[in-house]
A and B are shown apart, each in its own frame.
Chain A
Amino acid sequence: MGNRGGENMILEEILKNRAGFEEKIRKLIGRPVLLIELDMFALPCGCSGITANMRGLEFDDLEVFEQQILPLVKEMAENLGVKPTVTFARLVPGSSIVASLNWRTLCPRCYPEFARGAGKMPRPDLYILMFERRK
């Protein structure tokens, strides 16, 4: 990544990965879902990562295709050089709508919030796809 030949390689990678991830999810679930915005973020607490804001993806899709989605999620993180502690979907509260997929490298303060308990839903609006538990 970085600047190569006057072009911003980070942005180029993000554009390419946005389109690639969207295409793969579409093929998997058989519906033209939209990855409306792919962001890399840093939070004041020290967490950082990627957010994919989705349109048209449902909780059922995650449950049914979770095993097929996991490699795609891993691939995205690798492509963008992120090593997430947790990868999760955020749901619109009380509904089956997946608002976003999130790859987050957790800071020490936020880690316990996800690490407490062993369930897939540490909060009613969060569904964990992957979690790297510390030893």
Chain B
Amino acid sequence: MKLFVPSPGHIDSLKELLTQKEKIYSIFMAGSPDYIGTGRSNLASPQLEDIKEQTEFAHKNGVKMELVLNSSCMGGRQLTPEGYRTNHWYVEKLVDIGIDSIVVADPYLVETISRDFDVDVVVSVLAFVDSPQKAEFFEDLGAKSIVIDSNVNRHFDVLHAIRDSVDCELKLLVNEGCLYRCPFRYAHFNFFSHAFGPEPRPNVLDDYYYLKCLELRIENPELIIKSPWIRPEDIKLYRDITDVYKIGGRTHFVDWILNCVNAYYNESYDGNLMDILDCPKDLKDLYNIPNKSLDGILEKQWTNCKKVCNKCGYCRTLTKKVTQVYSNGGTEHQMCLPWETGAVKT
């Protein structure tokens, strides 16, 4: 198993993460927001000298370093002569530093970086590769690896078709708890790309997409159960597709990240499923979904799921069975109650 593990972006985080280096194949982190930016929120803005120091440290410990430059919207800047020169200069510096791979979402960057540099180009999950046709397209552009759109994590027919269509490496993002077929996905990642990309950055007080996502799941936790996460115990069912897995969570504390690393490395987690989902982290203080209560569900139900929820109802019933709500949180009276006891509207 090759685990790609997030780093919040500073050397102290990396040193802590690599205390468990034997479980980590590669670290990934964002670069400076001043060039290409990323499609997710970011805690650090490592400059080239920081990236160099961290890359050398990772390599000294036998771990690879991947830079994530997966902005989903650059406002067309990448196509201007100035944007092209700036981005090219930045990638050149990263390659000189010895970065092992660069993750991008824009097909233009996949093609130009693959053509002009001696570095592995990884197609980001934000390129939404959810079909064999799209995977072939990116492979032809020069991709060495593709992170498959997590929306199809439980569509085994599509996963196998992608596997059969390309020779490049495939990666699965295992712990993203985003809404299945999330309606906010494109708008949210485009917003992040500007908020965590080059100036000018929007000064936004409230992230509508995040808050709306939470609201929907507080109204209906079935949406958490339907999210396309892959439990550590279920990794074994994906082995004929890939052995490369990416753990999301570069805005978390190292302790949280290492908890996920251990769960996936050991292919087992005895705790609240919400503990290991990257998003939505706020809801871990609301819901307790014992991970072990989901043993066997993927194999029994979701591998053959037709995704016609109104005719099925399996996830609805499962949600009622396994979901608990924390009550009186943070006090001596804290307890877990079945979700149904506090819910009227679903």
Contact = CB atoms under 8 A, between A and B. Distances in A.
| Co-complex (A, B) | yes
B328 A56 contact: no
Given A36-B285, A92-B206, A95-B208, A55 B218 contact: yes
Interface string A10-49: 0000011011101100110111111010000000000000
A56 B327 contact: no
B26 to A, nearest CB: 33
Contact of A16 (B283, B331, B342, B345): B331
Contacts of B333: 19
A19 B286 CA distance: 12
B212 A34 contact: no
Given A19-B330, A34-B283, A55 B215 contact: yes
B218 A34 contact: yes
Nearest to B214: A55
A99 interface: yes
Given A19-B331, A34-B283, A34-B286, A55 B211 contact: yes
B270 interface: no
Contacts of A26: 342
A26 B218 CA distance: 11
B282 A19 contact: no
Contacts of B211: 55, 92, 95, 97, 99
Interface string B262-274: 0000000000000
Contact of B330 (A18, A33, A55): A18
B212 A33 contact: no
A30 B334 CA distance: 19
A48 B327 CA distance: 29
Given A92-B208, A93-B206, A97-B215, A30 B343 contact: yes
Contacts of B286: 32, 34, 55
B218 A19 contact: no
Nearest to A37: B282
Contacts of A31: 218-219, 342-345
B339 interface: yes
B213 to A, nearest CB: 10
Contact of A30 (B206, B208, B329, B345): B345
A36 B344 CA distance: 21
- Nearest 6 interchain pairs by C-beta: A30-B344, A56-B218, A92-B206, A32-B342, A19-B328, A32-B325
8 contacts: A19-B333, A22-B329, A29-B344, A32-B343, A55-B214, A55-B286, A92-B212, A99-B206
Interface of B: 206, 208, 211-212, 214-215, 218-219, 282-283, 285-286, 325, 327-331, 333-334, 339, 342-345
Interface of A: 15-16, 18-20, 22-23, 26-27, 29-34, 36, 55-56, 58, 92-95, 97, 99
Given A15-B331, A19-B330, A34-B218, 14 more contacts: A15-B330, A19-B333, A22-B329, A30-B342, A31-B342, A32-B286, A32-B339, A34-B214, A36-B285, A55-B214, A55-B286, A92-B206, A92-B211, A97-B208
